Every structure is written in C-alpha cells, then in structure tokens.
Amino acid sequence: MIFNQYYLDCLSHASYLIADETTGKAVVVDPQRDISEYLADAEEKGLTIELVLETHFHADFLSGHLELAQATGAAIGYSSVAETEFDIRPLADGERISLGEVELEIRHTPGHTPESMSVVIYEHADDEVPYGVLTGDTLFIGDVGRPDLLASVGFTRDELATKLYDSLHDKLLTLPDATQVFPAHGAGSACGKNLSTELTSTIGAQRQENYALLAPDRTTFIDLVTEGQPPAPGYFIHDATLNKMQRPLMDEATPPRPMTWDEVQAAMAAGALLVDGRDPVEFAHGHLKGAVNVGLEGRYAEFAGSVVPVDADIVLFVEPGAELEAKNRLGRIGFDRVLGYVDRPLEVLLAHQDQAQVASRLTPVDFEERRTDVDDLQLVDVRNPGEHALGSLPGSVSIPVGQLPNRLDELDPDRPTVVYCAGGYRSSVAASLLRANGFDDVSDIVGGYGAWTEVVQPA
C-alpha cells in the first residue's frame, strides 16, 4: 500500500492519497483545489487516480474534486445521501471499494454535516485490524467536528450533535484500538475548538484522551461540543454551497495580470477591494489608502475570506514574485475574482504618496500612555470569544475579526480606536479594515494581548 498525507498549514487541512502497489489504482481523499502535488506523486509512482472521495461538503475550503476529475477522468464519490449538481458515485454505508489487495470501507458518520462519512483503510481485505480510518471532520485528534455550522441548513445544532454522538460511538469507536486516525484538519481550524497539533493518533488513544469521547452520556456530550465554538469565518457558507455545485475550475499555473496605477484606481472606484499581502510591519510603514492588510505569512486565505465579501473583485498588492501564490491561496477558498496585481508596487507607493498612508502601531507602553491621555478611547478585542474570556484588556469590547465586517455599526468611527489580538496579525487585518471603512484614528497593539501581559502589570 502507498499512503500519503498532505498537510496545508495555512488552512490546517489534511488530504490523502491511497494506492495499491500491485494494481497502481489510487484514490485521493478530501483534496485541496490546486491539485498539482497529487498528480506529480501519482505520475512518479506510476499510479492511476481512479476515484476522488469527499468525506463531506467542506465549508472551510473549496475542494479539488472537479479539478481532479477533469485532469484524470476519476469518478467523484460522496455519501449516498449527498446531493450535487455534478455526477457522483453514491457510496452506501458499509460499501467496500477494492483497489487490489488494498480495500476501503465506507462508513456513514453524520453529525458535523448530514452527509459526512469516514473511510476505513485495510492494507489487505481480510485484515482483522484496519490500517487506519480517514475521519474527515467527524473525529479530530483531541476533538470532534462542530455540529453548528450553517452548512447544514435544515438541521438544528442539537439534531446534528445527536447524530454525531451516534456516529462516533456506533461507527468509529467500534474499530480496534490500534486503528490509526487520520482527520481532515489540525490545530487552527475553525471546524472544531480543541484540535491537536498532532496529525495522527489511534482509536485507542482518542478513546482515552479526547474530551468529547470521555463524556459519560449523550446529554453531556451535546453540551460539551456545542459550547464555546469559535465564530465561523464569513466565507464558510459560500464554500459549502460551491462544493455542491458545478463551478469553474482553478488554473493554478497562470499568474494574475499586472495592473497600472490608472487601472487600479478605476477598479477600486468600481468597488474592488485592495488586499495587501505584506507583513504587518511593512504595511504599517506605508500602504495605499483603502487597502486591507492580510499578510501572506499568516492564515491568508482564512482571514481574507473573513473580511472580504464573497462577491467582491480583488486587486492584489504583494511583494514582487508572490502574485501567483496570493491568487492561488485565495482560489483555495473559491475567491476567484482577482482582477490582477499592482505592478511595481513599491514604485507606485513612492510615485503616489498623496494616496499612501502609514499605520499607527502602539507598543504596550505606548498604548498605556495613550489610554491615559485619551478620554474617549474605543478599545476592540478582535480575538475569538474563548480567548477574550480567558483574559482581556480592561474596557475592551469583543468583536472577533471575522465578525467585524457585519458589526461595524457597533463602533463609532469618530472615536479614537485601538484594536488588539493575541500577537498582532489579526489586529492589523482589523485596523486596516476599519480605516478602509472611514475610521480615521485607528491603531493596533504590537505583540497584542500577549505582549501587553508581559510588559504592563495589570492594575
């Protein structure tokens, strides 16, 4: 058997290639949208990708099933309860898929979504202990899939939590303890609240260590998994819908086109959003007015999807050479409306200084001085509610960065405003978004709450 795990850090996303060496037949599970790595590995090993399996309709990324089907002729397999605009191979609960000596077993595991399924891997069809199980978003390392995402329209949170409990106990925990667990996400994903940084585990270890599986009864389980979930980024429902649809394919090889200053100005006047992918420090030193800072070095696609409307045209401002990366990372979440990028960006900044500005960033000591001097200061915590509950700056209001676009009316654009997060990445996103929406006096705290707790002694 050939078994490859692919992990995409910026989306905390795991996908898999499983193949039988004797037949060369291969299956890819939960692929990312840019598929070149799967194709390269299959070609190198002489494999034929015959099937693409999706454990569910993903909400946090746009999956590459259509791209792989087009490139390889592979069929697309979903749970038999899934409904799509494109042709699929519907897979029944308990159905077996033979690749040769290697065999896969489908187990329907609804709960995170109604159509969720898991894939049990047998290195040999008659093995008593499976090699592993691909659990999608049903079972994570240290957590389970959240049952409250809007992707599951028509089902209540508690209904799905009940299904999730049954799926875990009746379908996954019946597997032998030695069965390896391979989830679709790791730490950082908004599909759960307590995901481990580990990328594999075993059924036995999860039985003993996973807080949700240790719940003594169904009621306790439901309370545990529905409470304290992080806010879902705004693009989740968009991607969950797109993953069911026949949609345009991604072109991961062609970079976006360079745009002149006049073209950029015309695009922004027509409503396009300028997304500056530089580091927050570089952005603070100088950027074009109206730009929103989402740094490529962070969780770029996730936070761009949190603050950029799904129907917005996008102009990129990035370091030269990063244009294709920025376009493709947005494409991974289905944000394909990239008009182009600012050609010779630093020259543009120098040539049009009347359209450039710097961003105010305060050290914790600077912030304390400003708070003393300014009576009407507006302080915004853009971390998740769980982070805020564990400690926050006195007087701050909690508005997670992903909720900020829809909650701007809760803030006064005429008041001096300071935003902060845990370390300074999200606060730069939030502060730039506020400036782009008419907030004139906005600063963020360098190093965020972590730096403040180290430098300033709380009163």
- CA–CA gap between residue 102 and residue 100 (Å, rounded): 5
User: How does residue 459 score in pLDDT terms, banded at 50, 70 and 90?
Assistant: low
Residue at a domain's end among 242, 272, 303: 242
Mean pLDDT confidence for 351-361: 96
- At 452 the pLDDT is 95
Same domain as 446, residue 399:
yes
pLDDT at 364: 95
Could you tell me if residue 252 is inside a domain?
Answer: no
- Residue pointed to by tokens 């710097």: 358
- Per-residue pLDDT, averaged over 151-175, amounts to 89
457 pLDDT higher than 70: no
Looking at the structure, tell me whether residues 318 and 367 fall in a common domain. no
DSSP lists the bridge partners of residue 19 as 2, 26
311 and 374: one domain?
A: no
Pairing mode, strands 378-381 and 397-398: parallel
Q: Which has the minimum average pLDDT: 57-71, 143-157, 325-339?
A: 143-157
- pLDDT for the residue 432: 98
Q: Which residue range(s) make up the domain with 307?
A: 258-357
**Looking at the structure, do residues 236 and 286 belong to the same domain, yes or no?**
no
Report pTM.
0.94
**H helix runs in 20-64, sequence order:** 36-45
Instruction: Catalytic residue, from 421, 442, 445, 451: name it.
Output: 421
421 carries an active-site annotation: yes
Give the pLDDT confidence score for residue 148 in this predicted structure: 85
Do the bridges between strand 338-342 and strand 356-357 make them parallel or antiparallel, or are there none, so unpaired? unpaired
Question: What's 444's domain CATH number?
Answer: 3.40.250.10
Same domain, 60 and 172: yes
Does 97 reside within a domain?
A: yes
In the chain, what's the furthest Cα-to-Cα distance?
74
Q: Please give the mean pLDDT across all residues of the chain.
A: 95
Q: Helices 36-45 & 65-72, crossing angle to 10 degrees?
A: 40
Domain boundary among 339, 357, 375: 357
The secondary structure element, H or E, covering residue 261 is helix 261-269
Average pLDDT rounded to a whole number, residues 142-158: 80
pLDDT of residue 152: 52
| 8 occurs within a structural domain | yes
- The number of helices, as runs of H, and strands, as runs of E, in the chain is 15, 24
